[in-house]
Amino acid sequence: MNILAWLIFLGAALLEVSGDATIRRGLRGSNLALVVGGFIALGCYGLVVNSVKWDFSKLIGVYVAFFAVVSVLVGRLIFKEVIPPSTWWGVALIVAGGAVIQWNANGHASLLRHPDGGHGQPAAGPDGGGA
């Protein structure tokens, strides 16, 4: 993936984490404005993460790994939560899963490519139709 993809992932993860946190604070403090602000942040997250034309299953699979890291770091650094070792191990497994999704058997990044050469359409069968 190129640097733009990582920046989009970072922006999306920050919007998602901040939206969730804002809604949580709004619900716990009975503050409707915070809940609405969180909804807006989550809506922006959806626009950002879906604004690029990537293979959806790979996009979300890799994004989940990125989101896991960002959410645990925000919990630790912003909310001062104590993160148990089991959570760090779990995040490591999620990141490993994201790496498996990202890199195909040939060791090449596969998020931006489709098996059919990039069109997202099923390969033509012998009769010219779908596979």
**DSSP string computed for 62-101:** HHHHHHHHHHHHHHHHTS-PPPPHHHHHHHHHHHHHHHHH
Those residues with Cβ within 8 angstroms of residue 131's Cβ, 6 or more apart along the chain or in another chain: 122, 123, 124, 125
Residue 67 DSSP code: H
pTM: 0.67
Number of other CB atoms surrounding residue 97 within 10 Å: 15
Domain locations along the chain = 3-102
Structure tokens at 60: 């979300």
Structure tokens at 7: 């920046």
Q: Report pLDDT digits (tens) over 62-118.
A: 888 888 998 999 889 988 999 999 999 999 999 999 888 877 645 566 555 555 554
